[in-house]
Structure 1
Amino acid sequence: MTTTSTPNSVHIPENARIVVAGAGSIGCFVGGLLVAQGHQVCLLGRPRIIDAIRNGGLKLADGEALDMALDANQIGLSTSPECLADADIIILAAKSLVTEEIAEEIARYAPAHAIVMSLQNGVRNPRILREKLQQTVVATMIPFNVVLSEGNRFQRTTFTAEIIMEWQPELAKLLSGDLITFTAQQDFNEVAWGKLLLNINNAINALGGLPVRQQLMDPQWRRLMAHVVEESMRVMAAAGIKHQSVAPVSMKMFCWILRLPTWLFQRIANSMLKVDPEARASMWEDLQQKRLTEIDEFQGLIIELAEENNCSADLNRRIYGLIKKAEQAAAGSPGLSVDAIRNA
């Protein structure tokens, strides 16, 4: 069973310098909001993204009220991990696939007093970081998705601006503002597992290739989502893992709502439908860009737990196999139907 221990209280220097390591869609969006709230932020990312921001600034939107443009000279920009040497706070927003690689860069360049915040999917990254780093590691859970709609424009596709983090109230207070808030929570480990239960459906969206909202309006897709979440909950229960729902209702009720007739689902699940009409899961974007996905942190972890506890995870196995096949094909989302996924 994977657990996350709560770190001791940390000292935060005044005018803390923040480096966002692995600044992709999530990292640039969060980093940009922190800049707008008055923080010193450096984005450490790949040349493609950093050059686009350097040439055209950083644009942030959320489909509602947020529509912001930051000049490039307001933000630190780097493609070299040497910028970590100046960090008081490191926000790690990279994919789980490169956690160990970036941990090595942090260990080499970052000062010992730096706080490392893992803004990553899955539940295993904080443990990996703690095994490799002397710095304090703080796990966080980010409940929204961000897409790169242009070379330097990042749009949040779900309408919430709160990040949940381990119990570090002073750090949460420092980073919070009108544009984005950080909430410290003592039972964070259960929250992380609750977020995994929502992320478990990223693969379904990636395989279908449809916008999330369109899938949610189809009862067949909703029943498939409910099935994979319920199977995952059974596996977690067999492993003795507790979770706390990050949805407005319990995950059991969440699955019940997914199975309602569409007309009733629309009335009850308004908050679930408050997403950008074209929003898709980040795993879909990974397939479209011919990148490896984080499937091992979702279905892969559930399958491991099922094997360790001698229980079934058949649907998760099928989904896992289909994503791996799509990765190997490098042809984008396969655009599968519900029946094709169930019968794989």
Structure 2
Amino acid sequence: MQINSVALIGAGAIGAYFISGLQEKLGRNFCVVAEGERAERLRRDGLVINGNRYELNVVSPKEAHGADLLLVATKYAGLPGALPEIRAVCDDHTIVMSLLNGIDSEEIIGTVVNPSQIVYSLMRIASHRVGDSVNFDPERTDGLYLGEKGSPKESERIRAIEELCKEGGLRYHFVEDIIADQWAKYTLNISYNLPQAVLGVGYASYFDSEHVMFISKKLEEEVRTVADAYGIRFRPLENTRERYLPSVQFSTLQDLNARRHTEIDMFCGVLMKKAAEKGVPVPYAEYTWHLIKALEEKNDGLFDYT
């Protein structure tokens, strides 16, 4: 099996990683799927990645139909709206890979394509987007983690994706238990992404303040308890002060600072739903959900009383 054509939905911070690695290798066989004003903007402005401007091959979902591989890298809130595009791009042979954070995007995509076409994956990258410019440190980027749901074996299509990444200079890692790894990443997101967003502080705060770390650990405990209720267990989190620069801000704080709505529904919202299905209390997650929602309302001007 060989992957010769790739379509990307979502040319943001995650999508930029694959644009930087695959566009030059595949040429016109790599495309960004978009319509309307968004398509016009991407054609006009392109995307600046680590200081280099990329002119994008922007096509409609119909034009991208039958791509060998579809990468889905939308924001979580944008995923429902992208489902018609996903359906239109795919034929029976298209491999679909969701690059979103969280633990349920594959379930959502599986409502419009055959779930057997989906390769489960996650991304580990600290990137920052301002306007049409995305920056990430290639040396600190772990890249793509992928595997087959319910199987520890490296399938033919997994090897084809790995070969594509290798040729494009993208980092990749095969995972024998991708579901457990997704939950581990999900736990990391909730426990290290959200406390700093509420407080408006950099990454090093977790190691400089026992209070920030206390909040992080309580959120981690709640995610692990919910995962355990579903029979999912995963390794201890691996985070050190040296992993990122002290001032690094993750996606939720970036969104709040840019006055954008966050992915809090994907983080705490999904956790609260799954916890409720198992009767597991998650008070720290619920409190954090309300805090982030209130900060979004503040950014929207709801509290501008003067």
Structure 1 length normalisation: TM-score?
0.73
User: Residues 89 and 115 of structure 1 are in contact (CA less than 8 Å); yes or no, is this contact kept in structure 2?
Assistant: yes
Q: Structure 1 counterpart of 2:75, which letter?
A: K
Name which of 202, 208, 228 aligns with 1:217: 208
User: Residues 287 and 327 of structure 1 are in contact (CA less than 8 Å); yes or no, is this contact kept in structure 2?
Assistant: yes
Q: Report deviation, 1:24.
A: 0.9
- Corresponding residue for residue 109 of structure 2: 129
- Corresponding residue for residue 199 of structure 1: 189
- CA–CA distance in structure 2, aligned partners of residues 82 and 276 of structure 1: 42
Q: Structure 2 counterpart of 1:142, which letter?
A: M
Which structure is higher in RCO with an 8 Å CA cutoff and minimum separation 6? 1
Residue 16 (structure 2) pairs with residue 25 (structure 1): no
Q: Report deviation, 1:36.
A: 4.5
List alignment gaps of at least 5 residues for structure 2.
Answer: 149-157
Q: Structure 2 counterpart of 1:322, which letter?
A: L
User: Residues 185 and 199 (structure 1 numbering): CA distance in 2 closer, same or farther, change over 3 Å?
Assistant: same
User: Residues 148 and 155 of structure 1 are in contact (CA less than 8 Å); yes or no, is this contact kept in structure 2?
Assistant: no
- CA distances 1:117-157 after superposition (whole Å, capped 9, x unpaired): 10011111111112211371112110112111463343249
Q: Structure 2 counterpart of 1:25, which letter?
A: A
CA RMSD of aligned residues (A): 2.9
- CA distances 1:209-232 after superposition (whole Å, capped 9, x unpaired): 112234443222122211211222
Residue 273 (structure 2) pairs with residue 293 (structure 1): no
Q: Structure 1 counterpart of 2:182, which letter?
A: A
- Larger CA deviation: 301-310 vs 111-120: 301-310
Residue 71 (structure 2) pairs with residue 88 (structure 1): no
- Corresponding residue for residue 151 of structure 2: none
Name which of 120, 140, 144 aligns with 2:125: 144
User: Residues 32 and 70 of structure 1 are in contact (CA less than 8 Å); yes or no, is this contact kept in structure 2?
Assistant: no
How many matched pairs?
A: 289
- CA distances 1:286-310 after superposition (whole Å, capped 9, x unpaired): 2233333222222122222332333
Identity of paired residues, percent? Answer: 21
User: Residues 28 and 43 of structure 1 are in contact (CA less than 8 Å); yes or no, is this contact kept in structure 2?
Assistant: no
User: Residues 205 and 212 of structure 2 are in contact (CA less than 8 Å); yes or no, is this contact kept in structure 1?
Assistant: no
List alignment gaps of at least 5 residues for structure 1.
Answer: 1-10, 62-67, 255-268, 335-344
Superposition pairs of residues 130-279 of structure 1, within 5 angstroms? 130-134=110-114, 136-149=117-130, 151-156=132-137, 159-167=140-148, 168-177=158-167, 179-201=169-191, 202-237=193-228, 239-245=229-235, 250-251=236-237, 271-279=240-248
Name which of 279, 283, 290 aligns with 1:314: 283
- CA–CA distance in structure 2, aligned partners of residues 122 and 31 of structure 1: 22
User: Residues 86 and 289 (structure 1 numbering): CA distance in 2 closer, same or farther, change over 3 Å?
Assistant: farther
Name which of 3, 9, 34 aligns with 2:22: 34
